[in-house]
Amino acid sequence: MIDRDGYRPNVGIVLCNWKNKVFWGKRVREHAWQFPQGGIKHGETPEAAMYRELLEEVGLAQQHVWVLGRTRDWLRYEVPDRLLRREWRGHYRGQKQIWFLLRLVGRDCDVSLRASSKPEFDAWRWSDYWMPMDAVIEFKREVYQRALEELAPYLSRRPKGGARGRRGESSETTGALEPG
């Protein structure tokens, strides 16, 4: 599903632990590290796509995470022509993404990179939130930087109504967020 401007709707996931370290996955048979991300299917909400991608790529279910925040608007990046399939050139420009910041409330051992029949990652690690952007493929760096900047204020927040809140529920479900 590509919009009229040539962008494919997509979600990006910044998964953090209690130390505010973020999950980085190493793409299968590549030396590229990235955050989990994936396309939004026709009729699917960004939040539903996020939970589906989280399960497919990282093996985590809704009960393993809290949604701390999301980007307000779409963040876009263009894929360089040299990386596009020939049949996509002139029609497909790149991806537009809604980014989610999640807190892992499960355990590290809940992560399963083999949850789907076509794994995206063959290794993972916890990294500093502000890890150097040179580890990110060049054409995605600006979007990663913008997403991290917009989501950073949510790191110190907790769901209203209790120190722990409820697992797997977005801020829209649990109420407004308050400073931590």
Helices (H), the chain: 46-58, 141-151, 171-174
Q: What domains are there in the chain, each with its CATH number?
A: 7-179 (3.90.79.10)
Rounded to two decimals, the pTM is 0.85
Burial of 107 (0-12, 13-18, 19+ CB in 10 A): exposed
Torsion of CA 161, 164, 168, 174, to 10 degrees: 10
- The residues, any chain, with a CB within 8 Å of residue 80's CB and separated by 6 or more, are 139
Backbone angles phi, psi at 112, to 5 degrees: -140, 105
Q: Which residues pair with 22 in a beta bridge?
A: 16, 127
Per-residue pLDDT tens digits of the chain, which is 180 residues long? 888 999 999 999 999 999 999 999 999 998 888 999 999 999 999 999 999 999 999 999 999 999 999 999 999 999 887 877 776 666 788 999 999 999 999 999 999 999 999 999 999 999 999 987 877 888 999 999 999 999 999 998 765 444 444 444 443 333 333 334
The whole-angstrom separation of Cα 25 and Cα 33 is 5
The whole-angstrom separation of Cα 75 and Cα 88 is 21
Backbone angles phi, psi at 97, to 5 degrees: -130, 140
Q: Which residues pair with 103 in a beta bridge?
A: 16, 66
Q: Given phi > 0 = left and psi -120 to 50 = alpha, else beta, which region is 162? A: left
